[in-house]
Amino acid sequence: LGGLGGLGGRGGSAGEAQRTVVRVGGAGVPRAPVRAHIASAGALVGAGCRGCSTGPPAPHAPDAPDAFLQDLPPVPDAVLDTLRKLEQEGADLRAQIRVSNSLHRKRNDLLLGSLKDAEAERRKLHEQMQQLTRDFHVLAEALQSENLGSRDRVQRKGIEGQGGQSRMAYRPTHEYSMKQPTHVCELSHQSLAEMAMLGNHCSRRERLLREVMCVDGVSWGQAHDVINSFDQFNERYYWLETFPYRLGITIAFLSGVASIALVFWRPVAVWYGEQVAGEELPEGVADISELSVNQVGTWTWSWMEPVLGTASFVLLCCQFLRGQAVKMNMRSYSEQLLHWRADRLCAAFPRYDQSMLRAWGKHMPKCGLHFFPTYERSTRQKGPHS
């Protein structure tokens, strides 16, 4: 034990100079910790038993520590167990440190990635905010340009006060006049929809043009070719559909001229009175030429009054009948005819919006004094007058 104590006292300094590995119980342990523990244990044992030792201390051999260690007596098992436990605790601590470092690195990487994503999102939001700001300014300028009290106008000279004369005090500027729409195609969707609901055919035509552009994927000019095919299909039975109107116009015109001739024109009046009505000339009149125009009318009115009166009463009854039908929201012949045309057009072209197609189809082409219609396909891209 005294030699072990001396070993502890002397072997400590020798072990600090060299770090080698000594196999203890089959486990590799660094020499420095082993020597430190051996030195501590030896110092304690040597201090207690130094008085009992009678022999001289072993000579110190600093140049041969391995040979010196080989001459040591066997180390107790308790010391070896302590060394193993200490080594195991050190290994566990190192493993925990490695795991902790790995977790810290992962957390740092995650935080760094989150910061990068947050920075990218912040830049994106900043760009969107700038774009919204620009759009807001553009919208505000557009609203101000359409507002009656915010228009950029020029004040006329010589106008004073704020009375009724001030209404004529301002005139539009040249820049504002250049923004005025010159064709129905320059109007917005909302304006076209509102005007179409009020029955404006030009707006309905423009809405149908844009519907064709959307469905067929064609340009505005190419959409007119499709509209022309619609018009050609819709006007196939035009002359048959408008025949009652043409017949009524002809009969009304001829009846009006004939009624005047039968009442006041001498040749027709005397022929109709003698051949049809069976009337003779008034007493004391040998020839119809002796009567004036008013006298001829007085003479013919005796048999023309029942005819003209009855015809007028029939027309009055027809007008009253139509008025009551309109109050009951019944369709007249004209409205029913337009519905037939719209239904036929929608059945032939089902791929387009039916409401727009029906609104456009419920329209009769304009007709001149020559009784010939002006079809929309003849107006080309200019379209009918608004």
Q: Would you say residue 368 has pLDDT above 50?
A: yes
Does residue 234 contact residue 340 with C-beta atoms inside 8 Å? no
311, 368: one domain: no
> Does residue 322 form part of some domain?
yes
Q: Would you say residue 207 has pLDDT above 50?
A: yes
Count of domains in the chain?
3
57, 197: one domain: no
Domain boundary among 22, 49, 75: 75
Lowest mean pLDDT among 15-24, 278-287, 349-358: 15-24
d(CA 305, CA 303): 6
In sign, the C-alpha dihedral spanning 273, 277, 282, 283 is positive
**In the numeric block, which tokens belong to residue 130?**
């700038």
Q: Would you say residue 122 has pLDDT above 50?
A: yes
Q: What is the pLDDT of residue 147?
A: 60
CA dihedral (227, 233, 237, 241) in degrees, to 10, reads -40
CA 239 vs CA 33, 148, 243, 336, 354: distances in Å: 119, 48, 6, 16, 25
Domain boundary among 291, 315, 330: 330
64, 211: one domain: no
d(CA 95, CA 89): 10
Q: Identify which has the larger pLDDT, 246 or 177.
A: 246
What average pLDDT does the segment 37-47 reach? 46
Does residue 203 contact residue 196 with C-beta atoms inside 8 Å? yes
Lowest mean pLDDT among 22-26, 79-83, 199-203: 22-26
Domain boundary among 45, 75, 105: 75
Q: What is the pLDDT of residue 166?
A: 57
> Does residue 186 form part of some domain?
no
Give residue 190's Cα distance to chain centre: 14
Domain span holding position 276: 241-330
Q: Are strands 21-24 and 27-30 parallel, antiparallel or unpaired?
A: antiparallel
Q: Would you say residue 276 has pLDDT above 60?
A: yes
d(CA 75, CA 81): 11
Q: Would you say residue 355 has pLDDT above 50?
A: yes
222, 344: one domain: yes
What average pLDDT does the segment 174-191 reach? 86
317, 264: one domain: yes
Q: What is the pLDDT of residue 180?
A: 84
Does residue 345 contact residue 230 with C-beta atoms inside 8 Å? yes
> Does residue 176 form part of some domain?
no
Does residue 289 contact residue 266 with C-beta atoms inside 8 Å? yes
> Does residue 120 form part of some domain?
no
Which residues have a Cβ under 8 Å from the Cβ of 64 and sit 6 or more positions away? Answer: none
Lowest mean pLDDT among 167-176, 210-219, 317-326, 377-386: 377-386
254, 325: one domain: yes
Q: Would you say residue 208 has pLDDT above 70?
A: yes
> Does residue 178 form part of some domain?
no
Q: Would you say residue 148 has pLDDT above 60?
A: no
Q: Considering the entire predicted model, what is its pTM?
A: 0.55
> Does residue 103 form part of some domain?
no
What average pLDDT does the segment 51-71 reach? 47
Q: What is the pLDDT of residue 383?
A: 61
Q: What is the pLDDT of residue 156?
A: 61
What average pLDDT does the segment 206-211 reach? 94
275, 229: one domain: no
> Does residue 219 form part of some domain?
yes
211, 247: one domain: no
Lowest mean pLDDT among 67-71, 83-87, 138-142, 261-265: 67-71
Q: Identify which has the larger pLDDT, 262 or 69.
A: 262
66, 199: one domain: no
71, 201: one domain: no
61, 197: one domain: no
231, 280: one domain: no
> Does residue 226 form part of some domain?
yes
